[in-house]
Amino acid sequence: MNNDLQGKAALITGAASGIGKAVALLYGQHGVNVMLSDIDQPQGQQVADLVNAAGGNARFFKADVGDPAQCQQLVQETVRAFGSLDIACNNAGIGGELNLTADYSLEGWQQIININLNSVFFCLKYELEAMLRQGKGVIVNMASILGQVGTPASPGYVTAKHGMVGLTQTAAIEYASQGIRINAVGPGYIDTPLLSQLSPEVRQQLIGLHPIGRLGKAEEVAELVIWLSSDKASFVTGAYYPVDGGYLAK
């Protein structure tokens, strides 16, 4: 148990499944009060119920992070519910359209940039406002291995994740002297619902890209988020941490 997290207030976007759900459950185990957010209300509420059943304190607030007004509302709702916003995990994202750059649709591009990059800026803007009033806070942005390297047929996703890493570094430098730490996590391919529609062949190909010989687990990513959220990472800001089974080492 990480005692310095006990009683702190956190918000998590994209908390209804996958990595967001794993982070929510782990925050709950460490005594963090958590505001879960997602566009999927039934699933999100289910995760909140799981946290509460395990002895944690969670609430659910439905928000579409592609809309700045809803991001602002989510932050306000968290502060209203728990009295502060100590930790934010900006995790919401989609895989988006798969197409070569010349064939990528304009709608597909706008959608993924809005959900995977603009949303992080929107959330950061309002999270920082709340944390600056308190004089402290921690933000963890969920990037990807594709925030460091490219891959064919995902120009939108790769661009958004690279942009997120740059935004993380910039904001971290800006607010380091004001008690706010901001870092990015770069998961490899994680066994989540986002990958469930893949064929067995494609799945095997993805496994082959990781020297460790398997896909990652959402819980393994959550452990890194917990560490970055805690005082144990007190000298860590503006960093990008892969959790990728060796993918980027190749």
Catalytic residues, by residue number, are: 157
DSSP of 8-25: -EEEEESTTSHHHHHHHH
User: What's the CA gap between 220 and 59, in Å, rounded?
Assistant: 24
Closest CA to 179 of 220, 221, 140, 137: 137
User: What's the CA gap between 163 and 107, in Å, rounded?
Assistant: 19
- Report the alpha-carbon angle 48-51-52, nearest 5: 85
Query: What does the block give as tokens for 32?
Result: 């963090």
**CB atoms closer than 10 angstroms to residue 121:** 15
